[in-house]
């Protein structure tokens, strides 16, 4: 089993910095990431789920190219959350990430000008690699009908679910299947921010008509992370026209988001109505049988040695949230086995992964809450972690802290560190404020695509708890009486396949 030297990792990091430029490297990689390599697998450990998703979507190919240049080998790149990196994040870096996300469509638009549109995507997902089970079978079935060009395939298909449950894999599999089995089909796969980038470039270069011809004549339009269109009125209007043009010709549109369309903030009602008029299907975290099968396939692809079933069961039983967690744990175990030159056994797995499992379990609820609240308000998790105090951001941040305290066993200091290294007193005050407003049945104001809107706070909390699969129960004790860890976390609802 091949393990690179430390200087090899340093050379790869230098290659990434050279390709991205010093500012982008500092914003997304410095302090908040670690790179490890086992054989042909390159793992990027990151501080939180938002950084994980952003690097996976935007920089995975850059990392692979840097590794290829240094080692002369092609590597499979995976990104996983390691909560131990959280303390290294600083407010200035968190603010830089939020600024980068906000300005990205304009800063990055010029690179699209060289080709007149987004670069051709290199899609990794395949239907053959997809593990199908109760958590995703309805979504897979709907997408397969479009992939097979069935005449009565439903459109639009809107897939939503938490981070790392396989939405992107499914959409990429659709694109790859169309490319290999239906070469005459006109299709495009891109993310919400890439659609925005392309539209901005078209405006700047006065090629809006070419942009419209490119996308409105497609047979299948596939857009991942469509919630990134939130807060971008002009792009939403253009996308609405594109959507209508494709739909009017009875062609297909497949979309994916972290949240149900009605829970995406800063989205126009016209778009939401069109989304819910089609098939809206939720993808849930994989059940135990699916997790075991995912691990079996990773093990078969990673090592020639037989991996005991009890080892896979141990990982599957303790990491239940998403596929990224499973892959991260497996790669860590693989590396530990190589470093210690010991065969993979249950005892080794327990020793190598005990700390990893504990830390992952403790941040699981916060990551989901973080993303769900941010999407509802038309923000990104990076916005919640900044020091900004606009009305909408402050409200969203307070609600996220309140839900974290109510639905996880995290202490106030732990929640504060996760939410951008905030002081624990900030979390206590936020909880008191939200509880006081709920007790008084107050209405709160926030910015939306239609302007400032007012809504009962209790209704916002109810919607978010429903999205998180949490019953809106009253806490059995005060959440702000003391700063020690709360009692046992509420048990999550049993994962179910949900439509609509």
Q: Pick 362-468's CATH classification: 3.30.360.10, 1.10.287.130, 2.40.30.60, 1.10.1750.10.
A: 1.10.1750.10
The predicted pLDDT at position 475 comes to 39
Length of the chain: 500
The predicted pLDDT at position 118 comes to 44
d(CA 242, CA 246): 6
List the CATH code of the domain at 1-89.
3.30.300.180
**CATH 3.40.50.300: which residues of the chain?**
106-282
The predicted pLDDT at position 39 comes to 74
> What's this model's pTM, rounded to 2 decimal places?
0.74
The predicted pLDDT at position 446 comes to 85
Helix (H, G, I), strand (E, B) or coil at 296: helix
Residue 233: how many other CB atoms lie within 10 Å: 12
- SS3 string, the chain, reads CCCCCHHHHHHHHHHHHHHHCHHHHHHHCCCCEEEEEECCEEEEEECCHHHHHHHHHHCHHHHHHHHHHHHCCCCEEEEEECHHHHHHCCHHHHHHHHHHHHHHHHHCHHHHHHCCCCCCCCCCCCHHHCCCCCCCHHHHHHHHHHHCCCCCCCCCEEEECCCCCCHHHHHHHHHHHHHHHCCCCCEEEEEHHHHHHHHHHHHHCCCHHHHHHHHHCCCEEEEECHHHHCCCHHHHHHHHHHHHHHHHCCCEEEEEECCCHHHCCCCCHHHHHHHHCCEEEECCCCCHHHHHHHHHHHHHHHCCCCCCHHHHHHHHHHCCCCHHHHHHHHHHHHHHHHHHCCCCCHHHHHHHHHHHHHHHHHHHHHHHHHHHHHHHCCCCHHHHHCCCCCHHHHHHHHHHHHHHHHHCCCCHHHHHHHCCCCCHHHHHHHHHHHHHHHHCCCEEEEEECCEEEEEEHHHHHHHHHHHHCCCCCCCCCCCCCCCCCCCCCCCCCCCCCCEC
The predicted pLDDT at position 477 comes to 34
Q: Domain 106-282: which topology? A: Rossmann fold (3.40.50)
Give, for all 500 residues of the chain, the pLDDT tens digit: 455 556 788 899 999 999 988 888 988 888 778 898 877 788 898 887 778 878 887 888 889 999 999 988 888 888 887 777 877 776 677 777 777 776 654 444 444 333 444 444 567 889 998 999 999 999 999 999 999 998 888 889 999 988 888 999 999 999 999 999 999 999 999 988 889 888 988 998 899 999 999 999 999 999 999 988 887 889 999 999 999 999 999 999 999 998 899 888 888 889 999 999 999 999 998 999 999 999 999 888 877 778 999 999 999 999 888 888 888 889 889 888 888 889 999 999 999 998 878 777 666 577 788 888 988 888 888 888 888 888 899 999 999 999 999 988 888 988 888 888 888 999 999 999 999 999 999 999 887 766 788 889 999 999 888 888 765 544 333 333 333 333 333 333 333 333 33
The predicted pLDDT at position 38 comes to 78
**CATH 3.30.300.180: which residues of the chain?**
1-89
Which residues on neighbouring strands pair with residue 443, listed in sequence order? Answer: 456
Angle between helices 391-407 and 346-376 (to 10 degrees): 140
The predicted pLDDT at position 495 comes to 35
**CATH 1.10.1750.10: which residues of the chain?**
362-468
The predicted pLDDT at position 232 comes to 85
């Amino acid at each position: 089993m091949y393990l690179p030297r430390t200087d090899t990792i340093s050379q790869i990091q230098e290659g990434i910095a050279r390709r991205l430029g010093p500012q982008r490297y500092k914003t997304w990689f410095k302090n908040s990431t670690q790179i490890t390599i086992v054989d042909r697998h390159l793992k990027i450990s990151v501080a939180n789920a938002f950084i994980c998703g952003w690097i996976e979507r935007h920089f995975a190919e850059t990392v692979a190219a840097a590794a290829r240049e240094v080692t002369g080998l092609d590597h499979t790149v995976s990104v996983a959350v390691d909560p131990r990196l959280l303390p290294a994040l600083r407010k200035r870096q968190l603010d830089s990430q939020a600024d980068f996300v906000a300005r990205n469509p304009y800063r990055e638009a010029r690179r699209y000008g060289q080709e007149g549109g987004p670069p051709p995507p290199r899609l990794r997902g395949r239907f053959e690699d997809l593990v199908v089970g109760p958590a995703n079978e309805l979504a897979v079935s709907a997408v397969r009908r479009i992939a097979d060009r069935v005449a009565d395939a439903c459109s639009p298909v809107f897939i939503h679910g938490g981070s790392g449950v396989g939405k992107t894999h499914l959409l990429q599999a659709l694109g790859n299947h169309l490319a290999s089995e239906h070469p005459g089909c006109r299709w495009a796969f891109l993310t919400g921010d890439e659609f925005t980038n392309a539209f901005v470039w078209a405006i700047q270069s006065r090629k809006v008509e070419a942009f419209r011809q490119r996308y409105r004549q497609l047979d299948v339009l596939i857009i991942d992370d469509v919630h990134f269109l939130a807060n971008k009125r002009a792009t939403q209007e253009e996308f609405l026209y594109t959507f209508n043009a494709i739909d009017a010709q009875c062609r297909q549109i497949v979309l994916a988001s972290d949240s149900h369309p009605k829970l995406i903030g800063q989205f126009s009602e016209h778009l939401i109505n069109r989304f819910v008029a089609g098939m809206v299907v939720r993808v849930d975290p994989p059940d135990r049988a699916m997790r075991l099968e995912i691990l079996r396939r990773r093990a078969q692809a990673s090592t020639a040695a037989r991996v005991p079933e009890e080892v896979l069961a141990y990982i599957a039983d303790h990491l239940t949230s998403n596929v990224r967690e499973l892959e991260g744990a497996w790669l860590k175990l693989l590396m530990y086995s190589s470093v210690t030159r010991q065969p993979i056994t249950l005892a080794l797995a327990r020793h190598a992964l005990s700390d990893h499992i504990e830390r992952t379990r403790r941040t699981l609820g916060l990551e989901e809450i973080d993303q769900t609240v941010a999407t509802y308000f038309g923000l990104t998790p990076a916005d919640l972690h900044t020091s900004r105090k606009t009305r909408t951001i402050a409200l969203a941040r307070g609600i996220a802290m309140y839900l974290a305290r109510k639905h996880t066993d995290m202490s106030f200091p732990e929640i504060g560190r996760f939410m951008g290294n905030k002081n624990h007193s900030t979390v206590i005050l936020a909880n008191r404020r939200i509880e006081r407003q709920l007790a008084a049945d107050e209405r709160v104001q926030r910015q939306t695509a239609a302007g400032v809107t007012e809504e009962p706070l209790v209704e916002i909390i109810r919607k978010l708890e429903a999205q998180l699969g949490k019953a809106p129960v009253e806490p059995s004790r005060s959440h702000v009486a003391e700063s020690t860890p709360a009692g046992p976390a509420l048990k999550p609802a049993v994962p179910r396949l949900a439509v609509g």
